[in-house]
Amino acid sequence: MAHFIDRRLNGKNKSTVNRQRFMRRYNSQIKKAVSDAVNNRSIQDITSGESVSIPTRDISEPMFHQGKGGDRTIVHPGNDQFITGDKINRPPPAGGSGAGGGEASDSGEGNDEFNFQISKDEYLDLLFEDLELPNLQENQFNSIVEMKTHRAGYTSNGNPGNIAIVKSLQNSLARRTALSGSKKRKVKALQLEVDELTQRGDVEGQFVDELKKEIAELKKRISKVPFIDTFDLRYNNFEQYAVPNSQAVMFCLMDVSGSMDQPTKDMAKRFYILLYLFLTRTYKKIEVVYIRHHTQAKEVDEHEFFYSQETGGTIVSSALKLMDKIVTDKFPANEWNIYAAQASDGDNWADDSPLCRKILVDKIMPRVRYFSYIEITNRAHQTLWREYEKVAEDYSQFALQHIRQLEDIYPVFRELFKKQAA
Amino acid sequence: MLKDEVKQLSDGPDWNFPLLEEYHVEIKRIAEHYRLDTYPNQIEVITAEQMMDAYSSVGMPIGYNHWSFGKKFIQTEQSYKRGQMGLAYEIVINSSPCIAYLMEENTIPMQALVIAHACYGHNSFFKGNYLFKSWTDAESIIDYLLFSKNYIAECEQKYGIDAVENIVDSCHALMSYGVDRYKRPSEPSLSEEKRRQQERTDYLQTQVNELWRTLPQSNEKAEPVEPNFPAEPQENMLYFVEKNAPLLQSWQREIIRIVRKISQYFYPQKQTQVMNEGWATFWHYTITNHLYDEGLVSDNFMLEILHNHTNVVAQPAYNSPYYSGMNPYALGFAMFTDIRRICEHPTAEDKAWFPDIAGSDWLDTLHFAMQNFKDESFISQYLSPKVMRDMHLFSIEDNDSSKYIEVSAIHNEEGYQQLRSKLSAQYNLSNNEPNIQVFNVDRKGDRSLTLRYVPHQDIPLEGKSAQEVMKHLHRLWGFDVKLEQVQANGNIELLCQSITPTP
C-alpha cells in the first residue's frame, strides 16, 4: 500500500555540507576571485554577494572516454533528404554556425568558466579571512562590562528548574539521619532487651509490654520524619561575573584637501569602507572616530566622512593634533586599544611635515597599538612620507604603504592587517 | 460505463493530500488491471529546493558527503535560477519501498501523471526487469547507503577530510570500471555485510602482504616466463585494486568497495534508459487514457496530460537546433506502443518480421519484453520497420580515414536490418565506454600495474583525461601504472603512464 509523505517541511539544505566541501576544496581559487572582484565594485554595493567564476578545468572530474576519430556509425532521426550512399562534407566540429561563437564569451558565462554565486556573508568572510587588529590587548574592565555566567555552588532558594536533585536528596538523607538516628539506636537496644527477656522465658508481662509500647512509640516518631522537606531543597546557583574586555577605538584620518582629486578621494574612501566593514564584522564593539582635514581638522560622523564635499589647503598636523586631543579627552591609553589609519596623497605644507613627526613621536605613538599610513599618489614621495619613514624606523607598530591604483587597495589592506604569527 | 454514472475526480488545478489519495486509488486499480507488479510505494512531496538537493545526489536519497555533489548542486541551482532548465517533475528511486518524489509546484493532473509514470511505470520496471533483479537489491539499498554514509563520515573523523576525499576522488574517476559486467555474486544482507567488513579489515592486510613477500631463497636459475597476474585480464578495476593494491589501509579498501557497490547499483539504469523511460511513458499514457475512458477525469485534465506527454515524447529532427541525439522517451514509447499495435492489429509486414508476436496477447508480450531485455537487445529484437519509418531514421557513417561522411542506410527495405543493428549497437555500453582492463602486475619487479586499451572500431582514447585518470589510479595502486593500447596490427603501444617521482 502506498503512503504519501509531506517532506516539504524538512530542511531544504541537504546539500549544504557538500557545497561547503566544494568551497573548501576551491578556497584558494574562490579567494582569488573575491579579491579580484573587490576592486571592480562600486563603493555602494561593496557588501552584496558575489558571482565567482573558476576555470572549469580545475574542477573537472576525469573519466576514461573515447576521443574523436575512428570509425563511427550514428543513427539519427528525421531524415528529410538523404538516400543511401549520399556523401556529405564533414560538418565543422562542435557548434557549427560562426555567429554563435562570439556570444557565449560575451556574457562571461562561456564553457571554460564555472560560475556561481556566493552569499554576502560568505563573501565578507572570505574578504576578511585571516585579518586582525595587531597588538590588541585585553586590558580593561569597561564601564559597559561584558558579563559571563558561571556555576557558583548551590543556594537554598531558586526556581524549580534549577533544583539540584542529588544535593537535595543528600540533605534529605542527612536530616533524616540526624532526626531519627538516635531513636533508631534506642529501638534497636530495646528490641534486644525484649528478645533477651523473651528468650530467658522471663515473661513478666508488664515489663515487656512497657518496652514494646516504648518501641512502638519510637517507631511512630521515626515515621513522622518526612522523607523530603522544603528545608532540604538546594538549587544550582549561577552567577554573573565581569570579564576583561578589549575595547578599541579606530581613528580614521582622511585628507580632503584640494590636491586630493576625485579618484584619489574615491580610493581613500574605498580603503576606509573596507576598514569599516572589517572592523564592524570582526569586532562587535569598536568605536570609530572619523577625522577629516584640509587646513583644519574636524571630527565628523560616518555620513559626512564618506559623502561630504569640502576642500582647502593641507595641514596634516591639524588632524594629528585633533586626534591627540580626542585621545586625551575620551580615550585614556591604559583603558583603550587605540588604532589609527591615515590616508593622504602625501601633499603637505613642507614646514608642517616635521611637526607631524614630532606630534606622532611625542604624543601619539607611545599611546597607539598600531598606526597605518597609506599614501595614494602616482607622484614621487614628498616630505611627509620621508618624515613618516623615520617614524617607522623607530616604531614597529607604525606601518606605511603606498597605493598607486585601484588594484593596490585590497592587497595593501591585507598587508596592513594580516594576522601575525603568535 | 457511462460517463454520467461516475463521479468525476476534481481536476484541480491545485492538489491536496486527500485528492492525491483518491487519484492514487484509481491509478492503482488500473495498474493492477494491467498486471503491473510493483514494490510498495512511498510518495514524498517536496519543494523545488529539495528537488535540487535530490538532483545533486544523483538520485540517492542518502549519500556520503563529497565536493563533487556540491558542485552538481551549484550547477543545478545556477541553471535553474537562470531559467536555463526546468526541474524534472519527479525522481524515483529503485528501492523497496520505492521512493518517488513529487514536486510541490505540479498541478493535480501532473501529479497523477507522475504517480502513474513513476510509482507504477518505473516501479514495475525495477521489480520486473532481469537486470535490476539480478544486479540490485531494492530491499537493502537504503540500508547500504546509510551504512556507507556513516562509514565515510567515520573515516573523515579518524583520518581527516582530505585523506578521505583523495580516495573518493580517485574512486570516482574509475567508477565506471567498478562493475562486474558478466558475473554477479549473491548479495549478502546488511548484518552479514558488516560482519564481513570486520573480517576483511582483520584479514586483508596479511593476505596482501603475503602476495608481495619476496621469498628469502633467491631463485638461482632464471625463471621461465612469468605467468601474468591476474591470469585473465580483469574488467573490474576497482575490485582488482581493492583486493590487490599493496599499500592501501583497510579503511581505504572499504571506501573503494563502497564506491564500487554504488556504481554497480546504478549500472542497470545506464543499460535500460530507453526501455525504462519508454515503459514508464507508455504506462502513464495508457493509465491516464483509461481514467479518461472511464469518465473519471475531465477534458481539462486530459488536455494538460496530453500537452505534457507530447513534450516528453517529442523527438527533434537531426537538423533542429534542439537536437541532442535520440530521445529515449520518444524511442521507448514509440516501440512499446508499436509492440501493442503489432499484437492487436498486425499488418502483413509485421507478420513477416515478428511472426511470433503478431496477433498474440499484447499485455503478455509487453510484460515479456520488459522483463527479459536491455536497451541493446530490446532494440535488436523489437524495433519494427514502422517505427523506423515513422521516425525517419537514417544512419551516418563517419570514418576519419575518408573525407566525407556517408549515409549508410535509410528507412527503406534495404536499410531496415542495418538500421536496427546499428541503433542497437549504439546502446551497447561496451561500445561506448572504452574497453580498458587490468592486464598485468609486475610482481617480481617494480610492482607496476599495466592496463590495456582495446579500441572499438579504431576509436582512440581521449588522451588528456586518460592521463588524469591514470594519476588517480596511481594514487590507489601506490606504484607505477601504465596504459597500453593494442593496435590493429597487434602491436602494443604505450599510451600514458603515471610514475612515482624518484626522490
**Higher-confidence position of A163 and B7:** A163
- Please write the tens of the pLDDT for every residue from B130-179: 999 888 888 888 899 999 999 999 999 999 999 999 999 999 999 989 88
Average pLDDT over residues B251-280: 92
A100 pLDDT higher than 50? no
Please indicate if any CB of chain B lies within 8 Å of the CB of A9.
no
Mean pLDDT of the region B384-410: 91
Higher pLDDT, B353 or A134: B353
Pair (B340, B393) in one structural domain: yes
- The nearest CA of chain B is from the CA of A121 a distance in Å of 17
Asked if residue A80 has pLDDT above 70, the reply is: yes
From the list A17, A60, A76, which residue is nearest B394 (CB)? Answer: A76
- A 186-225 near B (Cβ less than 8 A): none
pLDDT at A130 over 80: no
Within this chain, do residues B88 and B105 fall inside the same structural domain, yes or no?
A: yes
Q: How confident is the model at residue B87 (pLDDT cuts 50, 70, 90)?
A: low
Most confident of A62-66, A104-108, A352-356, B345-349: B345-349
Encode pLDDT of B257-269 as tens digits: 999 998 888 888 8
Q: Is residue B210 included in any domain, yes or no?
A: no
A7 phi and psi angles, rounded to 5 deg:
-100, 5
DSSP-based three-state secondary structure for B405: strand
| B365 & B426 share domain | yes
The reply to whether B407 falls in a domain is yes
Flag the least confident range among A100-109, B9-18, B178-187, B415-424.
Answer: A100-109
Contacts of residue A63, defined as CB under 8 A and 6 or more positions apart, other chains included, come to B173, B175, B176, B465, B469
Report the share of chain A in percent with pLDDT over 90.
Answer: 5
What value does the mean pLDDT take over residues B344-353?
93
Q: Is A201's pLDDT higher than 90? A: no
Same domain, B121 and B32: yes
What are the pLDDT digits (tens) for A320-354? 899 999 988 888 877 788 888 888 888 888 788 88
Distance CA A175, CA A173 (A): 5
* A51 in contact with B, Cβ within 8 Å: no
Q: Are residues B438 and B488 in the same domain?
A: yes
Cβ separation of B392 and A6 shorter than 8 Å?
A: no
Which pLDDT tens digit goes with each residue over A26-38? Answer: 888 888 877 777 7
For residue B503, is pLDDT > 70? no
**Residue A106: predicted pLDDT:** 35
Tell me, what's the pLDDT at B221? 52
Q: Which residue has the cell 538520485?
A: B59
Q: Does residue B281 lie within any of the structural domains?
A: yes
Between A4, A14, A82, which is nearest B20 by CB?
A: A4
* Residue-averaged pLDDT of chain B: 86
Residue B467 contacts residue B473 (beta carbons within 8 Å): no
pLDDT surpassing 80 at residue A40: no
Closest by Cβ to A89, choosing from B404, B455, B458: B404
Shared domain check, B421 and B439: no
Q: Is B394 close to A117, i.e. CB distance below 8 A?
A: no
Beta carbons of B44 and A2 less than 8 Å apart = no
For residue B35, name the pLDDT band (cuts at 50, 70, 90).
very high
User: What is the model's pLDDT at position A42?
Assistant: 64
The answer, yes or no, to whether residue B1 has pLDDT greater than 50, is no
The Cα A67–Cα A11 span in angstroms is 42
| A411 or B395, which is more confident | B395
- ipTM over 0.85? The verdict is no
Work out the pLDDT band at A151, boundaries 50, 70, 90: confident
**pLDDT exceeding 70 applies to what percent of chain B?**
90
Comparing B448 with A110, the larger pLDDT belongs to: B448
B313/A141: higher pLDDT: B313
Same domain, B300 and B400: no
| Nearest C-alpha in A relative to B391 | A77
Report the C-alpha gap between A294 and A272 in whole angstroms.
Answer: 18
Query: Which pLDDT score, from 0 to 100, does residue A1 have?
Result: 54
Among B53, B396, B462, beta carbon nearest to A15: B53
Residue of higher predicted confidence among A159 and A420:
A159
Q: Cis bond leading into B460, ω under 30°? A: no
pLDDT of residue B24 exceeding 60, the answer is yes
Q: What is the pLDDT of residue B223?
A: 52
Which of B230, B262, B212, B132 has its CA nearest to residue B449? B230
CA A1 from chain center: how many Å? 51
The domain containing residue B438 runs over which residues?
434-498
| Closest alpha carbon within chain B to A16 | B70
Say what the pLDDT of residue A108 is. Answer: 36
CA distances from B41 to A6, B28, B30, B137, B196 (A): 14, 10, 15, 16, 31
**Rounded Cα–Cα distance for residues A258 and B244 (Å):** 77
Chain A residue at shortest CA distance from B68? A22
pLDDT of residue A36: 76
The residue that leads in pLDDT, B295 or A205, is B295
To the nearest whole angstrom, how far is the Cα of A40 from the nearest Cα of chain B? 22
- Residue A268 is predicted with a pLDDT of 84
pLDDT in tens, B218-239: 555 555 566 788 888 888 999 9
Q: Which three cell numbers stand for residue A203?
A: 515473661
Q: Are residues B392 and B369 in the same domain?
A: yes
Q: What pLDDT shows up at residue B500? A: 79
Same domain? B278 vs B335: no
The string of pLDDT tens digits covering residues A355-378 is 888 888 888 888 888 888 988 888
Residues B465 and B399 placed together within one structural domain of the fold: no
Number of structural domains in chain B: 3
**CA–CA dist A306, A273 (Å, integer):** 9
Residue B144 belongs to a domain? no
Q: Which phi and psi (to 5°) does residue A68 adopt?
A: -75, 160
| Residue showing cell 592587517 | A417
- If pLDDT is split at 50, 70 and 90, which confidence band does A213 have? confident
In a domain, B321, yes or no: no
Substitution target in B53, B320, B323, B430 with the highest count of A β-carbons within 10 Å is B53
pLDDT in tens, A237-294: 888 877 666 778 889 888 888 777 778 888 888 888 888 788 777 776 778 888 988 8
Q: Is the pLDDT of residue B204 over 80?
A: no
**Which SS3 state, helix, strand or coil, does residue A24 take?**
helix
Least confident range of A201-210, B70-79, B363-372: A201-210
A99 neighbourhood in chain B, CB within 8 Å:
none
Rounded to whole angstroms, how far apart are CA atoms A40 and B146?
46
CB burial readout A304-321, b (16+ within 10 A) else e? ebbeeeeeeebbbbbbbb
For residue B49, being part of any structural domain is answered with yes
More confident residue, A203 or B125: B125
Same domain, B383 and B475: no
In a domain, B168, yes or no: no
Facing residue for A82 by CB, picked from B40, B45, B410: B410
Cα–Cα dist B174/B263, whole Å: 10
- Comparing B165 with A407, the larger pLDDT belongs to B165
> CA A38 to CA A46: how far, in whole Å?
7
Pair (B67, B111) in one structural domain: yes
Task: Please tell me the pTM assigned to this model.
Answer: 0.73
Element (H, E) at B255: helix B250-271
pLDDT score of B348? 93
CA distance B347 to B327: 27
- Residue B105 lies inside a defined structural domain of this protein: yes
Q: Which of A86-100, A405-419, B449-463 has the highest mean pLDDT?
A: B449-463
Mean pLDDT of chain A: 80
Distance CA B411, CA B325 (A): 17
Banded pLDDT at A104 (limits 50, 70, 90): very low
d(CA B302, CA B291): 9
Decide if pLDDT at B126 tops 50. yes
What pLDDT is attached to residue B136?
A: 84
Give the mean pLDDT of B314-335.
91
Mean pLDDT of A53-57: 72
Reported confidence tier of residue B188, pLDDT bands at 50, 70, 90: low
